[in-house]
Amino acid sequence: MKITFVAARALLGLIFTVFGLNGFLHFLPMQSMPQGVALQFVTALAESHYMTVVFALQLGTGVLLLLNRYVPVALTLLAPVIVNIVLFHILMAPAGLPLAIVVTVLWMVTAYSVRPAFQALFHTSVHA
């Protein structure tokens, strides 16, 4: 099982490192732009420089995952990014949904491997 956890963490780290770097260096070919509201959404994100922050988060957390350093922190920072990726593809551009699902599964497997770090979040009572 340990091999599964390491492979999931490494693959998740590689995906986010590559896509984070691509946001700055543009070495991957551009896919066809979505139309309609998806195009408006992507345009607004790009013109506001919001994506610069997202790409920096992807790159930083991807490197942390590859180095196996601060994995719970990296997963915590990646969770909202992944939620937004999944929602974008569900609601506006379904063509990218398969990769979004793969990334979500990789995140869940990696999070499971460090679940003790998240245990305090799931206590039903607060002890003062």
Reported as a single tens digit per residue, the pLDDT across 82-121 is 999 999 999 999 999 999 999 999 999 999 999 999 998 8
Q: Which DSSP string do the residues of 86-105 spell out, in sequence order?
A: HHHHHHT-GGGHHHHHHHHH
- Taking only the tens place, the pLDDT of each residue in 21-72 is 999 999 999 888 778 999 999 999 999 999 999 999 999 999 999 999 999 9
Domain coordinates in residue numbering, the chain:
2-27+46-112
How many DSSP H helices and E strands does the chain contain?
Answer: 5, 0
Sorted by sequence, the CB contacts under 8 Å of residue 108 that are 6+ apart come out as: none
Residues in the chain: 128
Reported pTM: 0.92
Predicted confidence at residue 128, as pLDDT, reads 62
